[in-house]
Structure formats: C-alpha cells, structure tokens
Amino acid sequence: EAGVTQFPSHSVIEKGQTVTLRCDPISGHDNLYWYRRVMGKEIKFLLHFVKESKQDESGMPNNRFLAERTGGTYSTLKVQPAELEDSGVYFCASSQVPGLSTDTQYFGPGTRLTVL
Amino acid sequence: EDKVVQSPLSLVVHEGDTVTLNCSYEVTNFRSLLWYKQEKKAPTFLFMLTSSGIEKKSGRLSSILDKKELFSILNITATQTGDSAVYLCAVVLAPSGGSNYKLTFGKGTLLTVNP
C-alpha cells in the first residue's frame, strides 16, 4: 500500500513569490491534515479536511495560506505571497474515519520550504 | 493552552545501552497519545496509547501511559545505530463537536546511538 506522498521535496523561492505544495493521502483515507514545523519549534497543526470539506482551519497562520482538496483526493497548500517566516517543513498526514482504533495519522515525508 | 513536553531534547548513547524517553502533557480532552520515529523524512508510527498502565511492545521498543500523572515513556533496550532518530510524542485531543482529531506535538527527542 502506497503511503502519503508529498511534492516537491524541497522548494526554494524568493520572498513575495507563490508556492504550491501537494499532498496525496493514502487511498481511502477521508481525513487529511496539514502540519508545519518551523526550525526549533514543534510540529504544529494547520488544518484538517474530511473529504473535500475543511473541518478545522484554526491553525492556518493568515490569509496568505490557502488549502484545497477538490474531489476529496489530493490536497494543495498555496502560499501567496510567501514571507521569510513561512520557511519550514510542511507535513501532510492522513487517517481513516476517526475511531479509537484509528486515531493514527500517517505522515508524508514533508516538503521543505525555504523563502529567501 | 494545550502543551506536550518531551525530555531530554537530545541524548547520545552507545550501542547496547537502554534509553528512556519522556513525554508529559497538559491538555484538555485527552483521547490518546502517539509515538513516532522520524529519521530523515516522514515520521513513522510506533505506538498508540489510550489506557493507563498497559504496556505496548514492539521488539526492543516499549511504551506505557500514565493518565493520572499525565505522562508516557518510550523505552528502547539494547540500542542500535539504526535507532538514531528524532522521537516524537503527540497527543490526540477529543474534539468538542465536529470530528477534528488533530495532533499536538512535543518538540521531539533527538537520539544518537554511537557504535
């Protein structure tokens, strides 16, 4: 079974440019999460999709970040315009329908974003 | 604010040593606690703990949860160089309405096992 995949692995852009990150969850997983790790800090929640609907986007830093999951399969996270403080590793995770035995979220390898 | 604290932040040991990694938490609506191992890329799942006092075991790794004292430990016996990684502890919070089971992470413990 293929795991969670993310593209690209690493992106280097200049301040003010736009970047779009992509996440493909494990097939059949309705829940898709985005997290971010800024250097020196812990991994922090950004938002959660259930199928194509945003369940919780309370962790999104500001309106320069836009996440979509059209069709309820893959998701994109766009940062426009990017700022220096957006640098970090962006992780995507997916899980099955929540239940006590399925709290486990499976993570992708992350996209390292560097804003110069 | 929900908080997960891991200690130590970093640990260097020799092959064959036994290590104990700590994770304490102060959260509302605790549901479960997860341990992950992160080598170069994706955090990979190790254990999910929901009940106090029940040890989960996988090979040389084991973990236990204490819901009264609000902590968990991850033990690794007879460490090997391949155990070198960042070990992440995350707490799943029960959603208040809705179904968002987001994870709240600690900063991780960087374990280095030298030959």
CB contact under 8 A, B106 and A98: no
Residue A22 Cα, gap to closest chain B Cα (Å): 15
**Which stretches does DSSP call E strand in chain A?**
5-7, 10-13, 19-24, 31-37, 43-50, 53-56, 65-68, 75-79, 88-95, 106-107, 111-115
CB contact under 8 A, B42 and A105: no
* Mean of pLDDT values over A55-82: 94
CA angle B50–B53–B59, rounded 5-degree value: 85
At B42-64, the pLDDT tens digits run 999 999 998 888 899 999 999 99
At A9-64, the pLDDT tens digits run 999 999 999 999 999 999 989 899 999 999 889 999 999 998 999 988 999 999 99
Position B7 confidence tier, pLDDT thresholds 50, 70, 90: very high
Contacts of A37 (CB under 8 A, 6+ apart): A43, A44, A88, A89, A91, A110
Query: Which is higher by pLDDT, A40 or B9?
Result: B9
CB contact under 8 A, A55 and B100: yes
